[in-house]
Structure 1
Amino acid sequence: MMKIFIVLCLASLAIANKHEMLADQELARAKIALDELTFTKEEHIYNVDGYVEGEKEIGYENEIDDPCANMECRIGRECVLDNQREPFCDCATSCPQGETSEDAIHRTKVCTTTNATFTNLCEFHRQKCMEVDLMEVHVDYYGECAEMGSCSAEDLREYPERMTNWFIKSLALIRNRPEEHGGLSQKEKETLQQEWSQSTHAIFWKFDRLDKNPSDHYLDFAELEGLRAPIVLFEPCTKPFLQACDVDNDTLISAVEFGRCLNLSDEQVPY
């Protein structure tokens, strides 16, 4: 089964209930982490007849004989064999395209930090894998590039509360889900046993899910994609809010800075 299910219905979201809808969408986005998205052989890398790459053509009757059977690659990459028949991940030769795919992740366009629209997340990472000029380009948000709305001073002032409420609702939504369906890992369940406030639990559950590459208690621009990209189109205060979080202007948001931004005291930050 596909590991990652994405349901992005931004166009249909009403302002009045946008955060309730965000919570409903958390399951679909729970395992999105830029540069960590993977696809199994059946989902993307192979077809049932075997894998073809250039002059190499290999067919296997079962997965035991298949060198790529247990190989997982980032989105936009696929498993190929070198001259010694050892598997490695290389730039994908193609990606599922738009409406021809059954998976929402392939039907959703993405806008990059250079204001360029790509067909889907896979196609962006495939191109990024092949083109050196795209190395420093990231996904800005999900959806076709569009003019951003304005962020008023009042909206920005209320933003921490809105985001914290989203985290709380998102955590409640997936709390009893199986891990394989986007629910909590065993480590996350153990963390929730800590005697923290509801806000602290929700805020640092989300922080830990973003803090993956590397897991160092700092969030860089790429790691923040999982937070920024799904909501920036209808939450125009997202960018200025995150920029304000980086108090020391080192292009990273530390756990302490993240907590302070969301109105936690330093004593409430668990790291």
Structure 2
Amino acid sequence: MRSNILLVFLVAVLCFAYCIEAKETHRKHKKAHERKQKKHMQEVEQKLEQLLELEEEIESEMANELDDPEAEATEQRLAEEEEAELAEQLEAYEQLYGEIPENPCLKMYCGAGRECIISEDGEGLCQCVEECGGDLDERRKVCSNKNTTWTNDCELYRQRCMCAEGLPGCVNEDNEHLHIDYYGHCQESMECEAEELNDFPRRMREWLFNIMRDMADRELLSDHYTRMEKEAETDQNKKWSNAVVWKWCELDGHPRDSSVSRHELFPLRAPLFTLEHCINEFLDSCDPDNDHNISMKEWASCLKLSEENIDDLEDLCEDIRDEE
């Protein structure tokens, strides 16, 4: 009786081990298939680029020689021969690889730390970057909001993605909200005094307006932003508000969701870090509910604009989006 029970137990253990091994084998095969498919798509795109470049060269050479009567006949013959050769190459390529499929990843936006892969069903899927490469250039190092130095921005965003997805590579759950503070090794910053922090919104408003005016002078703004800048030059009440709206709308990148994430603040924070040691404390004050997103109301409030105009500012930003 005991031997029968032991036999049944051993069989169950073997079956369980076999299932685990089969599942792992299937996963490896799936990964290998995805890598093979990705490599195939890269080869397809590379071959197409070469063929298109060849066609452009033919057209360019023909255009350059059309003014020469003596060379026209020769060029026509050579062009026909090269076109025939190109047609043969295309036919041979299609016979080898079949009809060239549309790459679904061309229409996908995956965001920092993610890359698009083509699934077995031929659909584009965003996943965490598998490898960033061994870039050891000191100039590529970045400092995070956790005061940790990373080899490059790819490694930092890859870590954030893995933590957001709950993958084994996540070293700390808090890294789900990881973002870049500035480029270079992390440094010790000066303490931000309360008086300095209280005066920071004024300095920020002044800086934003000066940047907006400089970009308008160099014709780097859109027509709508340029009109806002000119309006601010003549209307003192709009001097600060228009600059505040412009910068907030500019920071609200893809997807345009009417909020600025801590990650999207990087273009503002990075250049100011070495000049304004209160920049981190100020930006923290713009996110009082600590949801890692800054709304227009929060942005206007921390820059100490009049609350009665906040709704109008949001409407203005929506107008800008519609026009763009």
TM-score bracket, normalised by the shorter chain, equals 0.5 to 0.7
Across the two proteins, how many residue pairs are aligned to each other? 209
Q: 111, 116, 128: which one pairs with 1:74?
A: 111
Name the structure 2 match of 1:16.
none
Cα distance in 2 between the residues matched to 1:77 and 1:177: 35
Q: Greater CA deviation, 65-74 or 257-266?
A: 65-74
Query: Is 1:92 matched with 2:129?
Result: yes
Matches within 5 A, 1:99-178: 107-131=139-163, 132=166, 133=173, 134-175=175-216
What letter matches 1:267 in structure 2? Answer: E
Greater helix proportion: 2
C-alpha distance 233-263 of structure 1, shift in aligned 2 (>3 A): same
Q: Which runs of 5+ in 2 are unaligned?
A: 1-32, 50-99, 167-172, 315-324
Alpha-carbon deviation of 1:203? Answer: 1.0
Name the structure 2 match of 1:19.
none
Name the structure 2 match of 1:10.
none
Q: Matched residues, percent identical?
A: 35
C-alpha distance 174-115 of structure 1, shift in aligned 2 (>3 A): same
Q: Residue 217 of structure 1 contacts residue 254 of structure 1 at CA under 8 Å; is this kept in 2? A: yes
Alpha-carbon deviation of 1:149? Answer: 1.2
Give the superposed CA RMSD.
Answer: 3.5
Q: 251, 257, 265: which one pairs with 2:306?
A: 265
Query: Is 1:224 matched with 2:205?
Result: no
Q: Secondary structure at the match of 2:177?
A: coil
Query: Is 1:250 matched with 2:282?
Result: no
Name the structure 2 match of 1:203.
244
C-alpha distance 192-166 of structure 1, shift in aligned 2 (>3 A): closer
Name the structure 2 match of 1:54.
35
Q: Which runs of 5+ in 1 are unaligned?
A: 1-51, 101-105
Over residues 82-105 of structure 1, what are the superposed CA-to-partner deviations in whole Å (9 max), with x where a residue is unaligned?
A: 1123333332333366576xxxxx
Q: Residue 142 of structure 2 contacts residue 152 of structure 2 at CA under 8 Å; is this kept in 1? A: yes
Q: Residue 145 of structure 2 contacts residue 178 of structure 2 at CA under 8 Å; is this kept in 1? A: yes
C-alpha distance 88-150 of structure 1, shift in aligned 2 (>3 A): same
Q: Secondary structure at the match of 1:150?
A: coil
Greater strand proportion: 1
User: Which structure has the larger Rg?
Assistant: 2
Q: Greater CA deviation, 113-122 or 126-135?
A: 126-135
What letter matches 1:62 in structure 2? Answer: L
Alpha-carbon deviation of 1:238? Answer: 1.4
Using structure 2 for the length normalisation, give the TM-score.
0.52
Over residues 104-156 of structure 1, what are the superposed CA-to-partner deviations in whole Å (9 max), with x where a residue is unaligned?
A: xx944222233221122222112322343332333333332111112234432
Q: Secondary structure at the match of 1:79?
A: strand
Q: Residue 76 of structure 1 contacts residue 95 of structure 1 at CA under 8 Å; is this kept in 2? A: no
Using structure 1 for the length normalisation, give the TM-score.
0.61
